[in-house]
Amino acid sequence: MYMEQGSHHEMPAPSSRFSIPDVVVIVAYFVLNLAVGIWSSCRANRNTLSGYFLGGRNIAWWPIGASLFASSEGSGLFIGLAGTGAAGGIAVAGFEWNATYVLLALAWVFVPVYVSSGIVTMPEYLQKRFGGERIRLYLSSLSLLLSVFTKISTDLYSGALFVQVCLGWNLYLSTVLMLVVTAVYTIAGGLMAVIYTDALQTLVMVVGAIILTVTAFDKIGGYHNLEDAYMKAVPSKTIPNASCHLPRLDAMHLFRDPISGDLPWTGMTLGLSVLATWYWCTDQVIVQRSLSAKNLSHAKAGSILASYLKMLPMVLIIMPGMISRILYPDDVGCVDPKECARVCGAEVGCSNIAYPKLVIELMPSGLRGLMIAVMMAALMSSLTSIFNSSSALFTMDIWGKIRRDPPEKELLLVGRIVTVVLVAVSVVWIPILQNSNSGQLYIYIQSVTSYLAPPVTAVFLLAVFWTRANEQGAFWGLMVGLVVGLSRLALEFAHPAPSCGTADRQPSLVKDIHYLHFAILLCLLTVLVVVGISLLTRPPDESQIKNMTWWTLRRPEGPPSPRRPASKSPPTNGFCGSEEDDSQENSRPCKSICPGMSCGPGFLKTERPAREASHDMSESSSWARICAVNAIILIAVNIFFYAYFA
């Protein structure tokens, strides 16, 4: 039953399956998205810096939860999770389920501290907490690097791969097309626009994925057949004297051997928590959404909704990836380099095509177009927010230090040039990405993050929880962590994993220390350096601790004050320049550009607007109880799933 589905012949040109209803659905979907984006940005355009970056700090819990989920489940994760599921089974679900605990930490611990300190960007928090410029400068630079290597390039590659599989176009032509459409889309900007289009995306993504999952399970005869069928999904062309074409024996186990496992359970619990804390609690793109909440209760409820949604990818993305290998073992499960190059253009394996292959083969006309539109839109929304926050980080935190008080036109130009440079570097990186880590996109993202993010996690945790941590300790901890992490990254690129059937000649530092175990060691090393140097040097000033740590944050006093209605008059010291700059001739070019790009001298004057939009720290006791009960239920559900699949 399973094997007759295998494609032993050249697959028909995908574009022949692409019908008129599909095109109509895609066009309608993009028009709707653009309409929402432009409508929101026209409203956000009149707001302050806080309005542009934090949606006026007036966004309800449900779009925040949906946006947190959509931002993390861009097209890169659809492609990557399904591909790793096809290659190795269900263990990769641990990456999604681990987020539950860290999302709760974000809402209950980190957001109150960030709100109390009155900041807009994460580097700004470290500068206020430790003083000095160099940590802020370093963190902005690192964020830009990680944006290129783990976000922009993977999203572009996965989006282009989707277009290639669905329409049969060339991978690089598809990439350029994605960029052109995204550039048009970026013009309609502002966080409010991104969050509401994300909410729309999440709804359609989940509905589309459910339809595809039901169809896929129906094709293999139900869930009870999944394990047997997966174990038999072997490609017809194999490599003699090698076993890499065989599915893993532990494919249906979540917890795997700590030494020989591809995703060891020790790394998946401890190492992954280090990476997840960096991603969910200190990354600009994610934290920005939680800071835009109306009050603390909405931030908590948003985190809980996102955590519930993060339970879905196991059934909606990973298992369909496994089914794709069952139905198309020769394409998705190929191991012979010549065969893989013919199927997907990458010699190291084609597991990344698992999800788009299912969409194009199983979805009926019209729905296929909808799924393609969702993948494209997921890509666009994550790219626009990354481009926007990256150009903001560069303009605010790096360019403002190189040139004091640059004119407005220069800032606009710099913001745009940064975006173009980021895109160019990302496109150049794609071929390296294509052939790295046995062609599994998700594993590539996690391994690069494991070498660069743990020092940042360590410094943020110490900044929030240890009042004695000071600037010297934090800076040298970051530097030592960076050198060690980059050394491991360089070793990995110099000695890539061997292809099927060849001897493993990697150095033992790469071969014997799993990247998730390395993340634990790197985080501990950074903590030791920060603690050691902080104790040997003078303690931080009182001003660097007040309102800046968990023990000294600004507690709400009394009942929440009534909200003042938003003023319709033009902002003073807003996002587009300051009061003085807001003369008619100065503000016109700025306002026309503001929706999509960083802009205005007000851009560098973050302190005052951040305080002007001072946040509602209070929460009613009934809401606090509802959130707490939901958090407990969520943890219970999470533990049950872990126990069931372990």
pLDDT-wise least confident of 117-126, 219-228, 315-324, 375-384: 375-384
Regarding predicted confidence, which is higher, 610 or 434? 434
How much is the average pLDDT of 115-124?
86
CATH number for position 75: 1.20.1730.10
**Single-letter code of the amino acid located at 548:** M
Contacts of 564 by beta carbon, 8 Å cutoff, 6+ apart: none
Half-sphere exposure of 164 (CA within 13 A, CB side): 22
Q: Is residue 532 part of a domain?
A: yes
Each residue's pLDDT tens digit, 165-193? 777 777 777 777 777 666 665 554 555 66
Query: What is the pLDDT at residue 591?
Result: 36
Query: What is the pLDDT at residue 158?
Result: 80
Are 386 and 209 spatial neighbours (Cβ–Cβ below 8 Å)? no
Q: Is residue 521 part of a domain?
A: yes
Computed over every residue of the chain, the mean pLDDT equals: 78
Dmax (CA) of the chain? 76
Q: Is residue 570 part of a domain?
A: no
Statement: residue 451 has pLDDT above 80? yes
Q: Is residue 13 part of a domain?
A: no
Query: What is the pLDDT at residue 120?
Result: 78
Number of structural domains found in the chain? 1
Query: What is the pLDDT at residue 276?
Result: 94
Q: Is residue 111 part of a domain?
A: yes
Each residue's pLDDT tens digit, 452-506? 999 999 999 999 999 999 999 999 999 999 999 999 988 888 887 776 667 777 7
User: What is the SS3 assignment for 243-280?
Assistant: CCCCCCCCCCCCCECCCCCCCEHHHHHHHHHHHHHHHH
Query: What is the pLDDT at residue 104?
Result: 95
Each residue's pLDDT tens digit, 334-372? 888 888 888 877 777 888 889 988 988 888 888 888 888
Length of the chain, in residues: 646
Domain residues for the domain of 220 are: 18-554+575-645
3-state helix, strand, coil in the chain (%, to 5): 70, 0, 30
Query: What is the pLDDT at residue 578?
Result: 34
Q: Is residue 493 part of a domain?
A: yes
Each residue's pLDDT tens digit, 533-589? 999 999 999 989 998 999 998 776 544 444 444 444 333 333 333 333 333 333 333
**Among 321, 274, 261, 275, which Cα is nearest to 441's?**
321
Q: Whole-prediction pTM value?
A: 0.80
Each residue's pLDDT tens digit, 12-39? 444 456 788 888 888 888 777 777 766 7
Return the bridge partners of 264, or none. 256
Query: What is the pLDDT at residue 473?
Result: 96
Q: Is residue 327 part of a domain?
A: yes
**Among 618, 622, 613, which Cα is nearest to 575's?**
613
Structure tokens at 469: 């941590």
Query: What is the pLDDT at residue 244?
Result: 77
Half-sphere exposure of 67 (CA within 13 A, CB side): 29
Q: Is residue 4 part of a domain?
A: no
Regarding predicted confidence, which is higher, 204 or 33? 204
493 three-class SS:
helix
Q: Is 502 left (phi over 0), alpha (psi -120 to 50) or beta?
A: beta
